[in-house]
Structure 1
Amino acid sequence: MTTHALSPGLSSRDGARSSHVGTLTSAGRAPASRSLETPAYVKHYDRQLSHLDDWLAIIALVGKVASRSGGNGVLDRVTEVQDRFRLLRVQLAEALIEEHAREYEMVLGGRAAIAVDMLVRNLFERSADIGFLSTDSTLCAYMESQPGEIDIQQHLARYIAKYSVYDDVMLLDIEGTLRTSLNCPEGNSLCDAALQQTLLELGSGYIEYFAPTSLAPHLKQALLFIAPIVQGESNKRLGYLALSFHLDEEVRGIFEEVADGAFELALLDSHGRVVASSLPSLALNASLYEIGASGVDVMMLDGKHYACRQVTGSPYQGYEGLGWRCLALTELSKGALVKRNAHTVSAEVEVVKGKLSSIRYQASMIAQQLNLAVINGHIVSVRHKALELVPVLNQIREVGILTDRLFEESISTLSQGMSLTAIADASMRAFSMVSIMDRNLYERANDVRWWALDERIRRQLSPASTGDEQARRKLSEVIGSINRLYTVYTNILVFDQQGVIIAVSDSNVSSLVGTHVPEALPLAACLTTDSDQGYVVSALLESVLYAGGATYLYCAPVMDFTSHTIVGGIVTVFDATPEFRQILADNLPAGGAPLPPPFALFVDAEGQLISSTLPNISLPLLLGESYAEALSLRNGERCFKQLEFEGNRYLSAMVASTGYREYKRSDHYRNDVIAIACLPII
C-alpha cells in the first residue's frame, strides 16, 4: 500500500484511511549497543591452533638444526604445509564468527518477524471491522435518537462477545466527545483535544489512533480504530465509532507463544519506542532508535548483555498499519543460543554450511599432505641414516593429527549448534503457520455470527424467502457491501429454513439463487443453534460454492427481527486456496539456487491435505514411517524428522494447532491441523 504524508503522524490511502501515532510525553534514553563479540569457543580453538602452530615451527627449526642435509628438504615441505594451515586457520576463524552471527540473526530475527507479523495480520482484520460496523443500522439509529430510546449497551456487548480482541466500543458525538461506551455507559462528556483535531481531517475512511487518551484513562496508550457514522440517505455525519483494540492482552499472548520461554520480546512503535516488553528492565517509552535494526547488536540492561534484533512488520495485503516493530533479545551469559531439550533430541541433523565444509575438506587434505611429508621424511632418515630426524618426524605427525582434530572439533561444535538452531527455526516457522491459520479462522467464526445479527438481514430474510424481490435485492446489497470489505470471502449467501439460497453477494453466481445449499453444509445443526454465540463449520470438502475447490463453509442462524424465531441462515465461503497457501509461503525462508526450495503443508488429523506450497505432493510418501506420528500430534505438540524428498534431504518440523482465544478451545469446535515446514539441509 502506498501512503502519502498529510502531516506529522498522519497518512492516508486513496482518501479512505488515515493513521495517527500519538506523541509520548516522556521517552527513555536509548541503551548503548555494540556488535557481537567473537564467541568464546572460537577464541578457544584459535588459541589451541596457534599453540600447535608455534610448537610445529619450533620442532621444524630444531629438526633443521639437528638433521643432516637430507632432512632439510622434507622439513621445508613441512613448513610449506604449515603456511597453508595458518591461512586456513584465519579462514576458519572468520567462517566460525560469520556462522555464529548468522545463528543469532536467524533465531532472533525470525522470532521478531513472526511476532510483529502476527500483530499486523490481526490489525488488518480490524481495518475491515471498523468499516463494516460503522455502517451498522443500530448504531446509526442510536446516534440519531435521544438518550434512553435505544438500549445500545446490549448491542455493543454482543459485538465484544464475538470479537474478543476489543476491550471497549465507544460512540463519539460529532464533536468527538464520548457519548457512550461499554466501559462508560453514561459518557461523562469525556473528550480528547488531540483526537478532536485529528477527526477534523478524517474523510470517509477510518483512522488508527495510538496515544494516551482521556477516552481510555485506564490505559497508558490506547489503540483505537475510528470511523464516522453517517445517516444513510442524507450522508450526514452523526458522530464516530471507536473500537479499542486490546493491545496489551494480544501482545502478551504473542510474546508467550513466540518467546517459547527462551527469549525476550518487545513491541516498538514506528519511532522505536518501547510499547510493551516481556523484559522488566526494558522500560516503557525507552527509545531504541536503530538498535538491532540493521543486524544483530548487543546492548546492556541492568548489567546484563543481550543480543538483540529489531524487525519492522511487513505489509499484509496492502495494509501497513502504524509501522510496528519487534525487538527480540537473548541474554548472552546464558550460554548456547539454542539449548537441547526433549523436542530436539529425536532429530539427528547434521548441518554444515558450504564454506565450513570446504574448510574442513581443505584441512583434511593438508593433514594428509603433512602426513605424506612425514612418511617421506622417514624414508630419507633411513636412506641417510639420519636417526636424529625420527623423533622430530614423530612430533610433526602428532602435531598434524592434533591440528586436524582441532579443525574437526571446532567445525563440529558449531555444526551441532547450527543443527539445533535449524531445528528451532523450522519449529518456529511451523508454529507460526498453524498459529496464524487459527487466528485467521477465528475471525471467520466471528464474522458469520455477527452478520447473522445484522438488523437489515433479519428484517429482510422472511419477506425475501416468500418471494419479495425488493427484499431480495436489499439482502444482496447488504451482503455485497460486506463482501467488498471482507475480501477473504469469495461469496456470502443467505438461505431460508429449507436451505434454499435467497441471496448472494457475488452477482456473477446469481444462478445459485433458488438452489439448495450443498449437503456438506451442516444445515440442521445451524438451524437448531440456540445461541447467538453458536456457529457451525463444514468439513474441508470440495464445494460447488467454491467453484469445485475445497474450503470451509462457516454458517450461523438468522433470527427474524419481529418474531425472534430462526428463519434461515447465512453462510460464508472462505477463499481457502490462496489464503492458506499465502500463510505457508509467508513463513518460509527465501529459497536460493543451487539449494532446493523449502516447502510447507497443512494437513488435518485424518491425513487430508489442506494446503501445500508444492503441487501434487503425497503425504504418506513424504513422511514415510513418520506418517502416523505426525497425524497423532495434538494441542501444540511437535516433532522433528529428517526427510528425503526428490533426492534432497530436508529438516521437517511438525506442529499441531492449539486454537486462539476461545476458538477451538471453549466454543465446542474441534479441527486438529498440523503444519509441516520442510527446510533443505545443506
Structure 2
Amino acid sequence: MSTAPSEVTHPLRRMLPHMLHVTENRETLKSLESVWDVLNLLGQLSGTTTEMGDTKSAFASLTASLLHNLALTTYNKRVQEIAAQAQVAIDILVRNLYERTADIGFLAMDDTLRDFAAAELAGGSPHRAEMVERLQSYVRLYSVYRDVILVSPSGQVLARLPDGPQVESIQDPLLDEVLASSAPYTEAAVRNDLFPGESRNLLYGTRVLHEDGTVLGALFLCFDFENETNRIFQGLCRDGDWSVITLLDDENRVIASSDPWQVAPGAVIAAPYGDGHLTRFAGASYLTARHAAQGFQGYMGPAGWSALVLVPLAMAFEQGGDDDDAEAAAGTDAALVRAILRNGTTFSPTLQAIPAQADAIQKELNRSVWNANVRQSAAQKVAVNAALNPAFSKVLLAEIVRTGTRMKEVFTRSINDLQTMTVRSQLDDCQFHAALAMNILDRNLYERANDCRWWALDPLLRGLLAATDAPEREAQLGARLAAINALYSVYDSLLLFDAAGVVLATSRPELAPLVGRQLDAGWCARALAVQDDSYVVSAFAATDLYGGRPTYIYSAPLHNDGGKASGGIAAVFDSAPQLEAVLSAGLPRSAGAFALFIDADDNVVASTDANRAAGHKAGLPAELRAAALEGGAAQLIALDGQVLAVGGRGSSGYREYRGTEGRAGQRLLALVCVPLCANDGQHDEVAVIEDAAFVAGTVRPASAAAAQDTIDIASFYVGSYLLGVPAAAVVEAIPFGGVVRLPNASDKLCGATIYQGSTMLLYDLHRALGVPARGKREDMLTVVLQGAGGRKFGILVERLGGIPVVPVADIAPVSNVFVGITPILASVVKSHGGPGGTALTLLAVEKIAEMLNQAA
C-alpha cells in the first residue's frame, strides 16, 4: 500500500470530516490505489514487468498535495466569508452611530426646546403638547430613533414621544453623568430608569444649555438598536447559510443575534479576535471570526464592541447541489480561468504545479506501458517465455493505463473544482463588497437627505430668515450654519438662501463672496417649490459651489407660518473624500483591488483607482452594468491587459430613502474589481487524450491471429503525424536529454548521447519531415531503435501512440500511395490510424540508420 504523507495537515485535519467533497475525492483516489496494488501483483505473477513503483509513489504524493489544497481552499473560502460578515456588521453599525453623535448636538441647539426647558425650570410650561409634537416632527424625518426625551436637572421627564414608557421622573446614574459632562455627547448602552423593565438601550445624551451657560436639563436620543441590527443582519445573511452574526459588548456578552434560537442575546462567548478559530459554545464546535470596528471619522463606536460570526462546524463546509454548480459556472470564462491558473497568484504554486505533475506522471506511465508492450511483442516473436500469455499481458497493461487515466481524471476534476471554487469565491467576494459599498452609500445619502430637513426645522434659522430687517442677521445666520457644519463634518459647506434664491449666509468665512449671489441652479428652484417637509437633491455634477468638482447638493425649504417657502438651506456634500472613504470601506483585502461608483452610462463618479478618475469612462461591459443594476452581478472580464474579477450592485435605497434613482434622476452602481493576473492572450491547445486500449495495444482473437500473418507496430507522434516502426526494431522509449550537438553535422542529426555506456546518435524527425514541434524539446521522448547490424540509434518523438497488431496484407509501400515523399517513409498501414483518422505511416528503419552513419 501507499506510504504517502498525511494528506491534510493540522489544524485542518480536525475539520476534514466535515468537508464532504474532500472526503469523497480521498476515497476515490484510495480505491484507485487499491486497484493499482492488485494490478501490480498480477503483473508480477504474469511476468509483465513495468516501472510502476515510482509512478505509483508519484501519484500517491500528488494525492496528498491535492487533498491538502482542496481542504485548505475550502477552509480559506469559508473563513473569508465569515470574516467579511463580521467586519461589515460592526463597521456599518459604527457608521450609523457616528451620525447620531452629530444629531444629539444639533437637537440640543433647538431654541424652542431650550425655551421650553427654561420655562419648566422656572416653574412650569403650559405647552408640553406642542413640545411633544415638535419632537415628533424631528423623529418623523429620522426613523432610526425610538424615542427623544427631555429631562430636567432634578430628573423630571419634561417631554418624550407618546409611544414611549410614560415615566414621570428618574433617579439614574446616566442622568448624573450627562449633567456633569461637558463633552459633546455621552454614549451609553445601559439599563436605565427611562425604560423600566428593559435590559438595556443605546442612548445618546447631552446637556441642554441656556445662552448664559446655565444647565437647563438633559436631552436623550434613544437609538432603535434592535430594528437597525435586524436590517444589518438581513443584508449580510444569505439563503441557506448556517452562520450566526452577533454583536458583543466589552464583557463578551451577546447584545444582538441574527439567530436568537442558536445564539441568544445575553449569552457570554469568550471567542478570540481573528479569523478561522474553533470556538466551543453551548456544547458544540463553531468556526468563528471576530472583528472590532475600523472606525469612521475618528469615531470607534461604543467601547469594546465587536462583531462575532459563528457557523456550526458540522455545517461549515456544506456544498451546494446542481443549482449551485450551475451558478458557480456563471461568470467564469474558461479561457480566463486557465490564464489565471497559468499566470495568477490566486492559486498557490503547489496548486499551479499539480496539472503539470499529473501530466508528467501519466506520460511516464504511458512510456512504461509502451515499453512493456514492446517487450511483450518481442518475447512473443522469439518465443523466449513459453509461460507468458501475451493476450493477458496486453489486457493487464491496458488496465494499468486506464487506472492511471482515471486517477488523472480525478485530479483534473478536483483541480477544476478548486479553480471554480477559488474563482467563484473571488467573484462572490467582489459582489459582496460591491453590495457593501452601495449599502454604505445609500445609508450615507439617507443621512444627507434627512439632515437638510432637520435643519429646515431649526427655529433660529426660520426666525432670522423671516426677520429681513434684523441687525447682524448675516453674521447670526453664518454662525448658526458654522455650528451645524462643525457637527456634521461630511459637508463641504452649508448655504442659506431666500425666496428669490439669493444666498444670505454660508457656513465658511472663505465663501463670503457668495453672499448676495443669485442661485440659478435647477435644484434651488425645485427646493423653493416643495410644499411639504421633503427635500431635493441635485444631479451629481460639477459646481462652482464645490470648486468646480462634481458633487450632490441636498436642499430643503424653510416654511413660514403661512406654509410658504421663505427660503431654503443647501448642504454641499464633500463628495471627493466621502465617496472615496465609502469605496475604501468596501474594498476586499486582495492585492490591487479597486472600487468605482459609476452611472448607468459607464461614467465614473468616484474611484479608488488613479487610472479611472471621476469623469472618465470605466470601460466595463454593458451587460455587466445592466445585470448589476438589476440586482447584482459578478464575472471575470479582460480589461486593459488584465483578467479582473468584478462584482457590481445598483443602488436600492435605505429606509425612507429610495436610492440614487428617483430625486436625483440618476442610477448609480458600485463595482469592486480585483486583478487576478495578466491576460496573456494565449489559447491552450486541447490536449490529445490517448485511448487506453490504443496505448496498450490491440488484442487479437486467436482465430484471427492464425488466419493471417501479422506484425506488431510501435507507433508515436511527430507533430500531428502518426508514425511507426516494427516493434521488433524498438529497444525502448526513454526521456530526451543529455544530447551533445556534433560540429559540422547534418541539421537532421540532433546530436549524440550516451546510452547503456555507448555513444548513440539521434535523428531529428521534425527537421527531416519539415514538421514544426508542438511542444517543448525537453518534454519530448527518444525512441531507441536497433538496425540490422545491431547498432542502436534514437529518433526524437513528441508522444507515444499504441502498439497495434497489423495484418501484413494491410501494409502498402509508400511509393504506391505518395509520389516524391521523403525516403525515410517506407509504407502506409491502410487499416489502422490514430484518433481523428490520422494515417499510420511506417518509417524505413534501415534507411534512417544509413543516413545517420553518413551524417556522422
TM-score tier (shorter) = 0.7 to 0.9
1:522 aligns with 2:523: yes
**Cα displacement string for residues 547-589 of structure 1 (whole angstroms, at most 9, x for unaligned residues):** 01101101111234x6664221110000111211221121111
1:232: how far off?
A: 2.1
1:273 aligns with 2:227: no
Does structure 2 conserve the Cα–Cα contact (< 8 Å) formed by 1:205 and 1:227? yes
1:622 aligns with 2:616: no
1:445: how far off?
A: 0.8
Using structure 2 for the length normalisation, give the TM-score: 0.68
Q: Would the alpha carbon gap of residues 277 and 338 (structure 1) be closer, same or farther in structure 2, given more than 3 Å must change?
A: farther
Between 579-588 and 258-267, the greater mean CA deviation after superposition: 258-267
**Residue 651 (structure 1) aligned to one of 642, 645, 648:** 645
**Residue 99 (structure 2) aligned to one of 125, 134, 142:** 125
- Structure 2 Cα separation of the partners of residues 275 and 604 of structure 1: 39
Q: Which letter maps to 1:578?
A: P
**Cα displacement string for residues 434-464 of structure 1 (whole angstroms, at most 9, x for unaligned residues):** 111110001001111111111111122244x
1:99: how far off?
A: 0.7
Alignment of 1:177-188 (within 5 A): 177-183=156-162, 188=167
State the match for 2:480 in structure 1: 478
- Structure 2 Cα separation of the partners of residues 347 and 209 of structure 1: 47
**Residue 377 (structure 1) aligned to one of 354, 362, 372:** 372
1:408: how far off?
A: 1.5
1:86: how far off?
A: 1.9
Between 562-571 and 618-627, the greater mean CA deviation after superposition: 618-627
SS at match of 1:674: strand
Between 369-378 and 665-674, the greater mean CA deviation after superposition: 665-674
State the match for 2:64 in structure 1: 90
Q: Which letter maps to 2:119?
A: S
- CA radius of gyration, larger in: 2
- Structure 1 Cα separation of the partners of residues 507 and 319 of structure 2: 52
**Cα displacement string for residues 134-175 of structure 1 (whole angstroms, at most 9, x for unaligned residues):** 222222212211233443112111110112100100112224
Q: Which runs of 5+ in 1 are unaligned?
A: 1-33
**Residue 489 (structure 2) aligned to one of 478, 487, 490:** 487
1:630: how far off?
A: 4.4
SS at match of 2:621: helix
Q: How many residues align?
A: 629
Does structure 1 conserve the Cα–Cα contact (< 8 Å) formed by 2:287 and 2:310? yes
1:164 aligns with 2:109: no
Q: Would the alpha carbon gap of residues 619 and 546 (structure 1) be closer, same or farther in structure 2, given more than 3 Å must change?
A: closer
Q: Would the alpha carbon gap of residues 652 and 202 (structure 1) be closer, same or farther in structure 2, given more than 3 Å must change?
A: same
- Structure 2 Cα separation of the partners of residues 252 and 185 of structure 1: 21
1:512: how far off?
A: 1.4
Between 96-105 and 186-195, the greater mean CA deviation after superposition: 186-195
1:409: how far off?
A: 1.9
- Structure 1 Cα separation of the partners of residues 181 and 540 of structure 2: 42
Relative contact order (alpha carbons < 8 A, sep ≥ 6): 1 or 2 greater? Answer: 1
Does structure 1 conserve the Cα–Cα contact (< 8 Å) formed by 2:602 and 2:618? no
Between 487-496 and 386-395, the greater mean CA deviation after superposition: 386-395
**Residue 219 (structure 2) aligned to one of 231, 241, 262:** 241
Q: Would the alpha carbon gap of residues 542 and 648 (structure 1) be closer, same or farther in structure 2, given more than 3 Å must change?
A: same
Between 502-511 and 303-312, the greater mean CA deviation after superposition: 303-312
Q: Which runs of 5+ in 2 are unaligned?
A: 1-12, 342-346, 678-856
State the match for 2:235 in structure 1: 257
1:625: how far off?
A: 4.6
Does structure 2 conserve the Cα–Cα contact (< 8 Å) formed by 1:168 and 1:182? yes
1:222: how far off?
A: 0.5
Q: Would the alpha carbon gap of residues 219 and 308 (structure 1) be closer, same or farther in structure 2, given more than 3 Å must change?
A: same
State the match for 2:573 in structure 1: 574
Does structure 2 conserve the Cα–Cα contact (< 8 Å) formed by 1:343 and 1:640? no
- Structure 1 Cα separation of the partners of residues 71 and 398 of structure 2: 33
Q: Would the alpha carbon gap of residues 176 and 190 (structure 1) be closer, same or farther in structure 2, given more than 3 Å must change?
A: closer
- Structure 2 Cα separation of the partners of residues 669 and 220 of structure 1: 41
SS at match of 1:204: coil
1:141 aligns with 2:121: no
- Structure 1 Cα separation of the partners of residues 320 and 107 of structure 2: 45
1:304: how far off?
A: 8.0
SS at match of 2:188: strand
Alignment of 1:344-493 (within 5 A): 346-348=330-332, 353-354=347-348, 355-385=350-380, 390-463=394-467, 470-493=472-495
Between 495-504 and 649-658, the greater mean CA deviation after superposition: 649-658
1:35: how far off?
A: 6.1
Between 149-158 and 95-104, the greater mean CA deviation after superposition: 149-158
State the match for 2:658 in structure 1: 664
Between 661-670 and 549-558, the greater mean CA deviation after superposition: 661-670
Does structure 2 conserve the Cα–Cα contact (< 8 Å) formed by 1:489 and 1:574? yes
1:587 aligns with 2:586: yes
- Structure 1 Cα separation of the partners of residues 448 and 471 of structure 2: 29
- Structure 2 Cα separation of the partners of residues 371 and 647 of structure 1: 39
Q: Which letter maps to 1:643?
A: I
1:327 aligns with 2:308: yes
Does structure 1 conserve the Cα–Cα contact (< 8 Å) formed by 2:179 and 2:206? no
1:285 aligns with 2:266: yes
SS at match of 2:620: helix
SS at match of 1:79: helix
- Structure 2 Cα separation of the partners of residues 379 and 498 of structure 1: 101
- Structure 2 Cα separation of the partners of residues 626 and 344 of structure 1: 18
State the match for 2:598 in structure 1: 603
**Residue 678 (structure 1) aligned to one of 669, 673, 679:** 673
1:364: how far off?
A: 2.3
State the match for 1:17 in structure 2: none
**Cα displacement string for residues 346-402 of structure 1 (whole angstroms, at most 9, x for unaligned residues):** 423566623423223322222222222222232333345575554443332122112
State the match for 2:318 in structure 1: 336
Q: Would the alpha carbon gap of residues 141 and 565 (structure 1) be closer, same or farther in structure 2, given more than 3 Å must change?
A: same
1:258: how far off?
A: 1.6
Does structure 2 conserve the Cα–Cα contact (< 8 Å) formed by 1:555 and 1:571? yes
1:615: how far off?
A: 3.6
**Cα displacement string for residues 492-525 of structure 1 (whole angstroms, at most 9, x for unaligned residues):** 01111221111111112221112222x3342222
Between 81-90 and 408-417, the greater mean CA deviation after superposition: 408-417
1:656: how far off?
A: 1.7
Between 88-97 and 331-340, the greater mean CA deviation after superposition: 331-340
SS at match of 1:311: strand
- Structure 1 Cα separation of the partners of residues 565 and 255 of structure 2: 46
- Structure 2 Cα separation of the partners of residues 655 and 290 of structure 1: 33
Q: Which letter maps to 1:160?
A: V
- Structure 2 Cα separation of the partners of residues 177 and 237 of structure 1: 14
Does structure 2 conserve the Cα–Cα contact (< 8 Å) formed by 1:620 and 1:627? no
**Cα displacement string for residues 236-288 of structure 1 (whole angstroms, at most 9, x for unaligned residues):** 22221110000001111111222133334223223332222231232221112
- Structure 2 Cα separation of the partners of residues 379 and 576 of structure 1: 76
SS at match of 1:641: strand
State the match for 1:230 in structure 2: 209
1:67: how far off?
A: 2.5
- Structure 1 Cα separation of the partners of residues 616 and 147 of structure 2: 45
Does structure 1 conserve the Cα–Cα contact (< 8 Å) formed by 2:492 and 2:572? yes
SS at match of 2:655: coil
Does structure 2 conserve the Cα–Cα contact (< 8 Å) formed by 1:173 and 1:240? yes
**Cα displacement string for residues 294-321 of structure 1 (whole angstroms, at most 9, x for unaligned residues):** 42536676x9876443333221121111
State the match for 2:500 in structure 1: 498
Q: Which letter maps to 1:348?
A: T
Does structure 2 conserve the Cα–Cα contact (< 8 Å) formed by 1:581 and 1:612? yes
**Cα displacement string for residues 23-64 of structure 1 (whole angstroms, at most 9, x for unaligned residues):** xxxxxxxxxxx9634412212212222232343344335434
